Structure 1
């Protein structure tokens, strides 16, 4: 998708943005009247010239002062316009997000079938803005591709390969700990979750940037497929489990944004890549597992495997006391019950980080909603035989108790945030095609750009 944005010198067709209650500009108004076109949010009108060629496009947005404006509404144009090169004509409210929405809405997953006809390109006159948006679009496309790829073609090894290819592109160092080496290197919970699969579990560790720069560490849940283990999922719940590595995909996309923007950070990306499968050596409900942190963890349910993988990865991240640790995971159904698929919960005890992330999430239309790390719920994770149970065992506050479990594995980092994402668009929306989605990465990238941009 790197060729989506065109240079200012390229010939292009104007797109005129018209708010509800306004008339289209000349020369489009006469054609609108002749065709009976009425202005309404999300509607568009192709306007011909005297010879029948495309003269311009009218696109309708919400009225000024509308209660709930969608800055991604222009994403509808990605599928509506005929092939060609376009530009925004006149004044466009938040033209950057509108351009981004059109670009993101043009995404297609092309691995197994030919791309549908399209070919829309958009002129951006500002070179710096064009480059920045292209970087974002490429990173999101990478993350979406990873989530959309089925597990037969994307296992733990292929997740590692994707990270290695990204690292090679930016001159990063990538190492991994694979299979039984996880036990020798003290990642016992990653090993336990992934050992029943024929595809070896692993920790993948990417490092980039100057050693004396502020340390920013990203941690992603990379469960390539989740059967639920011995607490096996019903068939309907297993259908989308190729997306259970969506946290890793979002953090890989964020790493691409950070390295592409050359931020002044020492970046570390840690992904626990496993497949939660079923075999005679699968871990069991009631098992007590050691962890990298030294805590002993009682297993309440093998279908809550992601937090075990994250816990060992977070413990590794925490050991060097970074400035910021952010983890992302498709962790709980409880988060979806609370906030739905579009709005990931954000957990952090750091007030400044919370305020900054929420501000950038709103500005980038990459929404997050803060939920509390409610301390009194910690007792729901108590165990009679171990330091902690990894689930609460009850019907309440499942996303919060998962976050509280993870918090136990972060002590030295100056700030930590956890995102419980869905990583999937159940239906197409402007700028967000149906399928795999990168959530939270653009908001975090904007925050890091503000703090560590050169």
Structure 2
């Protein structure tokens, strides 16, 4: 369903957001019968609590929403989304209690609460509509919500309908929507075009591997986004156990996230030159699958010893990152569901990122806080470089020992980029339903990047 604000109407039901320490003052301004109703129902403005107040005809006159204490709110985000999903059908407006970034977040939370993945089932009942609050960038919030919905849809779609060819079609549709240019290199053409690692990882699949290359904009600094597009990961000959393979439709979450971010950038008409690179493959098993101890030569000329075929994401990214660097962009950002080690370090809700620039790190951290899209900087710890040097080749794709797995993967990728570079090791999955985030695919880090772009690129 389209995630948009409702058309203004004089009949919109007011929603009063009430902080716990402002309960008495807010209730004191209500009509006497509503004050009695609030007391009778035991409304205490607890976080997420809501109360509908009737008019003389039994219709909803207003809604009170509890916003709790700062300590309670700090334990989550998108709190208004939980309430929006529970309200009766109708059109609502926020009548007070929020301003600034809190109002922006609440409006986005309401829209995102309307997301539902309905491709394979009866569509969910639409949530109540919200009129865009005064003082917010309504169109910007709608575009952000739609970019997030695109990311979620791509991740949630199973590989039977989201293989490399389907991911290409989705990218072509996005390019057509925004009048962007796209070039696709498929199958054996990857070899002749100089993308040997992408070809090697994807050649065992029934759907040929491919590199998607989309460009948009002709003015301003150049931003190149690189997204890991492993549409399914069996682990290859180092096959995953069944329990670990269950969520591998989400292994293209990096690609889904950069495509959602690209929609936001293009939809907002930002003054920059955008390039999006997605190596789209399926890591399958067949007679021509790559093997442990194989030594592969990358586009950059660096050789890689394969010590685990399940560490394939960094291989396809290596060729794409090398290409990204060849036209000297102002900034390269890669996003990938790359390592389980990142989840162990920060859990499923935080997007860890790597950069050698303290200024970029500060800009991302500040932006993430402003838009409720949590990120955390992990180190490009150079002393660990020896861990990715196997001796027999330039690089090891799966260092032994199991330590610093996310860091060593990031260091591996850094070997292929000389331009200013930021890498995100995201999860791309909401393991349990939360306000405005149903269980399933989810965007991570994209809104923080979007908010930080003026500082990152000096726009």
Q: Common fold, TM-score beyond 0.5?
A: yes
1:285-304 aligned within 5 A: 285-304=292-311
Of 264, 277, 290, the residue aligned with 1:270 is 277
How many residues are matched?
A: 451
Question: 2:259 — aligned with what?
Answer: 252
Q: Does the CA contact (< 8 Å) of 1:263 and 1:453 recur in 2?
A: no
Question: 1:444 — aligned with what?
Answer: 449
1:431 positional shift: 1.9
Q: Does the CA contact (< 8 Å) of 1:424 and 1:436 recur in 2?
A: yes
Q: Does the CA contact (< 8 Å) of 2:198 and 2:209 recur in 1?
A: yes
1:124 positional shift: 1.1
Q: Does the CA contact (< 8 Å) of 2:47 and 2:73 recur in 1?
A: no
1:419 is the counterpart of 2:427: no
Question: 2:42 — aligned with what?
Answer: 36
How far apart, CA to CA, are the structure 1 residues paired with 2:10 and 2:276?
Answer: 39
How far apart, CA to CA, are the structure 2 residues paired with 1:95 and 1:128?
Answer: 7
Distance 1:335 1:64, change over 3 A: closer
Q: Does the CA contact (< 8 Å) of 2:3 and 2:146 recur in 1?
A: no
RMSD between aligned residues:
1.7
Q: Gaps spanning 5+ residues in structure 1: where?
A: none
Q: Gaps spanning 5+ residues in structure 2: where?
A: none
Question: 2:141 — aligned with what?
Answer: 133
Q: Does the CA contact (< 8 Å) of 2:350 and 2:375 recur in 1?
A: yes
Question: 2:12 — aligned with what?
Answer: 12
How far apart, CA to CA, are the structure 2 residues paired with 1:49 and 1:125?
Answer: 23
> Secondary structure of 1:6's partner?
coil
Question: 1:111 — aligned with what?
Answer: 119
1:30 positional shift: 2.2
190-199 vs 7-16, greater mean Cα deviation = 7-16
1:222 is the counterpart of 2:229: yes
> Secondary structure of 2:448's partner?
helix
Q: Does the CA contact (< 8 Å) of 2:261 and 2:446 recur in 1?
A: yes
1:51 positional shift: 1.3
1:119 positional shift: 3.3
How far apart, CA to CA, are the structure 2 residues paired with 1:374 and 1:451?
Answer: 22
Q: Does the CA contact (< 8 Å) of 1:71 and 1:98 recur in 2?
A: no
> Secondary structure of 1:386's partner?
coil
Cα distance per residue 1:44-64 (max 9 Å; x no partner): 112211211111111111225
Cα distance per residue 1:214-234 (max 9 Å; x no partner): 110000000100001011111
Question: 1:144 — aligned with what?
Answer: 152
Question: 2:287 — aligned with what?
Answer: 280
How far apart, CA to CA, are the structure 2 residues paired with 1:107 and 1:340?
Answer: 23
How does the TM-score come out when normalised to structure 1? 0.96
Question: 1:79 — aligned with what?
Answer: 85
Q: Does the CA contact (< 8 Å) of 1:193 and 1:274 recur in 2?
A: yes
> Secondary structure of 1:80's partner?
coil
1:53-452 aligned within 5 A: 53-64=59-70, 68=74, 70-93=76-99, 94-126=102-134, 129-210=137-218, 212-411=219-418, 413=419, 415-449=420-454
1:20 positional shift: 2.0
Distance 1:291 1:207, change over 3 A: same
Distance 1:2 1:169, change over 3 A: same
Q: Does the CA contact (< 8 Å) of 1:105 and 1:432 recur in 2?
A: yes
How does the TM-score come out when normalised to structure 2? 0.95
1:117 positional shift: 1.7
